[in-house]
Structure 1
Amino acid sequence: METMDTNLDLPGRWMDIEKIIKRSGPFASPDFQPDTKETPRIMNNLQNDFKVLVIGAGGLGCEILKNLALSGFRNIDVIDMDTIDVSNLNRQFLFRRKDVGKSKAEVAAAFINNRITGCNVTPYKCRIQDKEEDYYRQFKIVIAGLDSIEARRWINGLLVNLVVVDENGDIDPETVIPLVDGGTEGFKGQARVILPRISSCFECSLEAFPPQVSYAICTIANTPRVPEHCIQWALLFGLQDATLEKPFDPKKFDNDNPDHMNWLFECAKKRAENFNIQGVTYKLTQGVAKNIIPAIASTNAIIAAACCNEAFKFCTDSSGYLNNYMMYNGLNGVYTFTFEYEMKEGCAVCGTNIVTVEFNKTANLQEFLEKITTDSRFQFKKPSLRANGKNIFMQGILHASTVPNLEKNLPQLGIEEGDEITVTDPALPGIGVRMKVKYC
């Protein structure tokens, strides 16, 4: 039997794409200029000039990469820090059993490059936080297929920061890199188009996501009562404790790495033994450290198609793009709904960054920290606080020196009514949320 050469382009492969870009239509942008045989501008842009970044090579990412490659995009980067697990094979169709244990980004890129002639998918097995700002500036558009709220907040904040605004408040449109965000949970999904500093950003709608389960820091640090407290202690304090030996760099802790997760389990188990707490298991440790969301192949396909459709429309002007949110529910049939998320006044990322927080004058910093950590508007993970030019509470190497401040009230720390506390958090790159204190 003769084997088909996958390196040969199929005749008429781009026929359907050409029907869209070679003629105008009622939904085309006013700036749309159809391709001609003499000047195939749009196709040249898709195949040669526009670079697209795909974040995530899992359930959504595999579908997104396939759709982009079959829509004419050739210059694609994909970032994913995970490796392939057997459980992925039922829906992440770019992977095979022989690929288990390998990098998702690398295997997905190799599959697409081998299958689609001329396509150049460049993989990176790393965290998105490991890349410099200049790396992200090269892309025409970014598509996120992530199940992590924290990662989505980070890339959203970065793209907002990359927008250049002059002294008059005017935006340089050349610095605006759209973010197409997709997400699924079971039979439900959503897709949205974010134009940094022009439309609402991901942070504007953060309250629409249920806040992650959180525990009081003082309970975790001093009086743990349940196994989850011990696991959270290992995450928050154990990783930062220089006296605890670790077989990895604590700054690069990876909850998908079995060695890292096993260390976390052992650390939490020892903590539990010290307080006579039963029930710390490896499975529970994984459940606390990772937010595992159920995935269904059909939902991934629908949401990925919506995301790539928006990217194609934006890059070709062949139709107006989504304004700006689409939700899908396939639980009891097929239902979709679109609406516009408005920019949120006082948004921590694209707003004024100044928020007034009412607080009891006699309460201590520990209670203030718990108040802002559990506030659904912010959903901070590991906040650091500065006020009046001083470190009030810090993560990392300054953590131990600022822990005693947790028992002091704000006036004892020199913070009067009307003063601002700047809060930084890993979820918000390069952004400090300024909180004006109002005593009640």
Structure 2
Amino acid sequence: MTAAVLNGVPNGIASSSSSSSKLASYLSDETRFASIDKILDRKGPWTDERFEGGQGTKDFLRTQSKILVIGAGGLGCEILQNLALTGFNDIHVIDMDTIDISNLNRQFLFREVDVGKSKALVAAEFVMNRVPGVKVTPYHGKIQDHPISFYEQFNIVVAGLDSISARRWINATLVQMAQEDEEQLKPLIDGGTEGFKGQARVILPTVTSCYECSIDMLTPPTAFPICTIANTPRLPEHCIEWASVLEWPKVHKDKKLDTDDPDHIEWLYQQASARAAQFKIEGVTWALTQGVVKNIIPAIASTNAIIAASCCNEALKIATACAPYLNNYMMYVGNDSVYTYTFEHEKRPECPVCGGESLTAEAGRYWTLERFIESLTNRQDLQISKPSLSYSKGALFWPSPPDVFEATKPNLDKLLSDLLDEEEGIVVTDPALPVSVNLSIKYVDAEEPAQ
């Protein structure tokens, strides 16, 4: 169900040649919320027990609630317009990207003249122009740039992201807020699409399963052993990883690699090409370089619309209690037909973000540290690719910065049992991890393997 249908906007107005002026006039009319008011004025067969209804509920939705949308891309554009037409009048949106010509086939708040401009700023201006009375506050930048106090001001957070790491970060931040003060529990509505597939979920930090609880449902990232990258590359991807993981920090020091900057991708491409030539490896291209360092997910407009509608329905239900909200996961598959399935994803006791149990890592007694690190990168419940390991004596192995990498590199060839005692704790950090993870080692091999 689209927001236009929800609010009773006639198809003729929405599709006429002078749609902008007619729609604006219609939405400023007293009938703007006629259809929504029918839901909010009285109880129904599925009304939540907390529902009060009437003018108080409508006032909270339209004048008091403050909602944050993270992402103004294909999913975020749909979410913004749906929220505005549903009755949310104080909307904030964050996005770090600028508009590319390739966005225009599915991100319908943008036009060709907007190419190169901030997605958040253009989307906010577009929605405010089309829906009178709605205030959309844009922020151009990363979600990590804002302090926790910034997120405390919102009633609901809706994530329309195309980045796993960003999802993990905002999830961990909201869980931390709720753990420190239960009154700071902010519902997180997470939407995601990939081609004809998508999902919408409602996360109540510390109450329901969090995003990290279901991380093992994701396809693990491709990981390449550091030693292979540094010493014996065999694939073009090894050369690209060498350029991004080892060479970039060595040459550029504290300058952060921006995978959205074409100049940065070009530098990596040139470095990877030179290394590939040195080892007689073929296949390094600019497109492959971009694909290796930046996870590009295909997007389809129809899937974005369906998932955005589901997310906005949940936002309305949470804000007004007009119906029970999702408990807690809806998956959509549209490859061959229209199929949805709803289920409750349970909390994972050993979740590093919201779980209370510690993690244990099994290892062979005669494994090298390098092999142990490879086993960590293959763990579905961690989803890491470039881990740094520390223990009671300091750094065990860090892939960066370059000086620490060189100092800890010899440990890779040492036996893990010579470095760590049984059940000795180590701390694992990774660019993909929103928190540090404490692991205890459990050795499973009793005898040295036969030579």
Taking structure 1 as the reference length, what is the TM-score of the superposition?
Answer: 0.91
Distance in 1 (CA, whole Å) between partners of 2:222 and 2:382 is 14
Identical-pair percentage: 54
Q: What aligned pairs does 1:14-413 form with structure 2 within 5 A after superposition?
A: 14-35=33-54, 40-164=55-179, 172-241=181-250, 244-245=251-252, 250-251=255-256, 253-352=257-356, 354-388=358-392, 390-397=394-401, 398-413=404-419
Please state whether the residue corresponding to 1:78 is helix, strand or coil.
strand
Distance change (3 Å), C-alpha of 1:399 and 1:134: farther
State whether residues 313 and 319 of structure 1, in contact with CA within 8 Å, keep that contact through their aligned partners in structure 2.
yes
Distance in 2 (CA, whole Å) between partners of 1:258 and 1:117 is 38
Q: Which residue of 2 aligns with 1:10?
A: 29
Distance change (3 Å), C-alpha of 1:87 and 1:346: same
* TM superposition shift of 1:188: 1.4
More moved, 365-374 vs 314-323: 365-374
Distance change (3 Å), C-alpha of 1:395 and 1:118: farther
Partner AA of 1:314 in structure 2? I
Distance in 1 (CA, whole Å) between partners of 2:320 and 2:393 is 48
Distance in 2 (CA, whole Å) between partners of 1:139 and 1:427 is 26
Please state whether the residue corresponding to 2:21 is helix, strand or coil.
coil
Structure 2: give runs of 5+ residues left out of the alignment: 1-16, 445-451
* TM superposition shift of 1:164: 2.8
Distance change (3 Å), C-alpha of 1:10 and 1:266: farther
Distance in 2 (CA, whole Å) between partners of 1:395 and 1:136 is 32
State whether residues 349 and 428 of structure 1, in contact with CA within 8 Å, keep that contact through their aligned partners in structure 2.
no
Please state whether the residue corresponding to 1:89 is helix, strand or coil.
helix
Distance in 2 (CA, whole Å) between partners of 1:121 and 1:366 is 50
State whether residues 223 and 385 of structure 2, in contact with CA within 8 Å, keep that contact through their aligned partners in structure 1.
no
Distance in 1 (CA, whole Å) between partners of 2:411 and 2:93 is 43
Please state whether the residue corresponding to 1:260 is helix, strand or coil.
helix
Distance in 2 (CA, whole Å) between partners of 1:45 and 1:254 is 40
Please state whether the residue corresponding to 1:164 is helix, strand or coil.
helix
Partner AA of 1:113 in structure 2? M
More moved, 298-307 vs 135-144: 135-144
Distance in 2 (CA, whole Å) between partners of 1:372 and 1:29 is 44
State whether residues 199 and 342 of structure 1, in contact with CA within 8 Å, keep that contact through their aligned partners in structure 2.
yes
Please state whether the residue corresponding to 1:416 is helix, strand or coil.
coil
Please state whether the residue corresponding to 1:69 is helix, strand or coil.
helix
Partner AA of 1:403 in structure 2? K
Q: What aligned pairs does 1:411-422 form with structure 2 within 5 A after superposition?
A: 411-413=417-419, 415-422=420-427
Taking structure 2 as the reference length, what is the TM-score of the superposition?
Answer: 0.89
Distance in 1 (CA, whole Å) between partners of 2:357 and 2:112 is 48
Partner AA of 2:142 in structure 1? R
Structure 1: give runs of 5+ residues left out of the alignment: 166-171
State whether residues 199 and 343 of structure 1, in contact with CA within 8 Å, keep that contact through their aligned partners in structure 2.
yes
Distance in 2 (CA, whole Å) between partners of 1:263 and 1:245 is 11
Distance change (3 Å), C-alpha of 1:136 and 1:382: farther
Which structure shows the bigger proportion of residues in helix conformation? 2
State whether residues 184 and 300 of structure 1, in contact with CA within 8 Å, keep that contact through their aligned partners in structure 2.
yes
Q: Which residue of 2 aligns with 1:169?
A: none
Q: Which residue of 1 aligns with 2:11?
A: none
* TM superposition shift of 1:72: 1.0
